[in-house]
Structure 1
Amino acid sequence: MLDAGCGTGASTLALARRHREAFVVGVDKSRARLEVGQRALACADDVANALLLRCDLVDLWLLAARAGMRFERQYLLYPNPWPKPEYVMRRWPGHPVLPAILACGGALELRTNWDVYALEWAEALRVAGREACVELLIPDGLTPFEAKYAASGHRLWRVESP
């Protein structure tokens, strides 16, 4: 499983605990955030199925797709990336790397507090020939973002594609 843009790896750790049968790789480009996650992972005696990796996601997806690597599930849990309209091509559903993301296979789950981002994902998946379900999310503690935005009264969204 891939936890794309995992930040401190809190979500990676939670996913590893929820899916003990899977190997969960959390990827982020921030050294500082991953150092926090590495300390948490080192203290988590009950988790042996997780790895935090520092790299650029575009490179990871392109290389993984080229190598024929497939994920069982891909999680994109960052709530609201690149919110300005002129940045639409920087958001994953409008980014040139989208075909590589989809080529890496598996179910895809996005969580966000931004309905526009959820709808962009659903439309991009539809155009790519994949089903997508957009629904309100009841926070379940998977990410610190969910707790933060739920506490401040934001509606949260989930996009799932089998």
Structure 2
Amino acid sequence: MSYANSRIPQSAQSGVHERLEAVVRKHLAEPFRKPIAPYNREAFDAALADWNRAAPLILDAGCGVGHSTIQIARAHPEHWVIGVDQSQDRLERKKPYPDALMPRNLVFVRADLVDFWRLLDEADLRLARHYILYPNPWPKIGHLARRWHAHPVFPFIPRLGGVLECRSNWDVYMHEMATALSIALGHDVPWGAFEAEVPLTPFERKYRDSGQTLYRLTLDLDAARPVAHPREI
């Protein structure tokens, strides 16, 4: 299948937003007090209902149709893997494996990440691995606050610990994510282009097959240092 028409996000913004640092510092200094919706608490409870608490936690944040969650669960059978997306339609789409071959160490839940991240922190839970794969880049200059690294919930992302991996096909998004993390952590956070030999998501396959450059940031938040990009998931 050809994906030659897939495009890089179109934006008048060519570098880190001039307001990013001020926005990030504001969110780091001011508590985020938005009430948590009851349906997100129910989704959070459902996500952990079959977790035996001995297994380390992995979060696939914004998992879409769940192909990445399945690959991650297969690569980490001793972990409990949670795929979260706000769209029930995406979560219910056909998976690449029949039910009999689906990993048993994963769960999909419909929830708003703004609440789900805070619920993890509220429960004093920390992640072993944390994936944010090809999030909506919101490329319009005026949409900065909709990007995860400029959203009021951003401080909870580094707080959850573990190895954080973010991928995007827009270099500006990745540069901003690294900049925001640098501000939060107090040290530089490198990022760069990579080759997706085995695509984790349908979007990643589409972008790769259309010849786009893909970007990745991988950071061990518990050690507060970048980690080498592993070959495995």
Give the TM-score normalised by structure 1: 0.92
Gaps of 5+ in 1: none
1:67 aligns with 2:119: no
Aligned-residue CA RMSD (Å): 1.7
- Partners of 1:42 and 1:132 lie apart in 2 by 40
Structure 2 contact 70–103 (Cα < 8 Å) conserved: yes
Q: Residue 155 of structure 1 corresponds to which residue in structure 2?
A: 213
- Higher RCO structure, 1 or 2 (CA under 8 Å, sep 6+): 2
Report the residue type matching 1:62 in the other structure: R
Deviation at 1:50, TM superposition (A): 0.9
Asked if the contact 1:80–1:112 (Cα under 8 Å) also holds between the matched residues in 2, the reply is no
1:53 aligns with 2:112: no
TM-score between the two structures when normalised by the length of structure 2: 0.65
- Runs of 4+ in structure 1 off by over 6 angstroms are none
Find out whether 1:146 has 2:204 as its counterpart: yes
State the identity %: 47
Which has the higher Rg, Structure 1 or Structure 2?
Answer: 2
* 2:164 aligned partner: 108
Aligned residues: 161
CA contact (8 A) 2:136 2:147 kept: no
Aligned counterpart, 1:89? 145
What are the Cα deviations for residues 83-106 of structure 1, in whole angstroms up to 9, with x where unaligned?
111111110111110111221111
Within 1, Cα distance between the matches of 2:159 and 2:77?
25
Considering fraction of residues, name the structure with more helix: 1
**Cross-structure match for 2:134:** 78
* C-alpha contact (below 8 Å) 2:163/2:219 kept by paired residues: yes
Which structure 2 residue ranges, 5 or more long, are not aligned?
Answer: 1-57, 221-233
Counterparts of 2:141 and 2:157 in 1: how far apart (Å)? Answer: 22
